[in-house]
Amino acid sequence: MAEENDVKKKNFVLLEKGEDTNVVFQSRQPRGAALKAASRGHTDIRLRERGTDRVHVFTGSREKAVAPSDRPKWLPAAVWKAKVTKVGVEHLKK
């Protein structure tokens, strides 16, 4: 069952200054990858979808939030809450 879920996920490479970085986020949708990038502090988020010429463009932010009371013991009392807004999709020039 786990293999079936992994097949549906896509890899998104974070772009900085128009160039690929070594940071790759895996998610089913580009928004999920953008949320992961925003939670790590990125604000101008450009994600290239591997295997295509699409670049998903987002703006992001994060803020400290109180963790739920039923959190696991390893989770701190304050966590980062990410927010993203999609700006659009660009296509790489060949």
Strand ranges (E), 28-92? 44-49, 54-66, 78-91
pTM for the predicted model, two decimal places: 0.83
CATH number at residue 57: 3.10.470
How many domains does the chain contain in total?
A: 1
Domain residue limits at 22: 2-91
Instruction: State residue 3's pLDDT score.
Output: 59
pLDDT in tens, the chain (94 residues): 555 655 689 999 999 988 888 999 999 999 999 999 999 999 999 999 999 999 999 999 999 999 999 999 999 999 999 999 999 999 988 7
Q: How far apart are CA 54 and CA 10, in angstroms?
A: 12
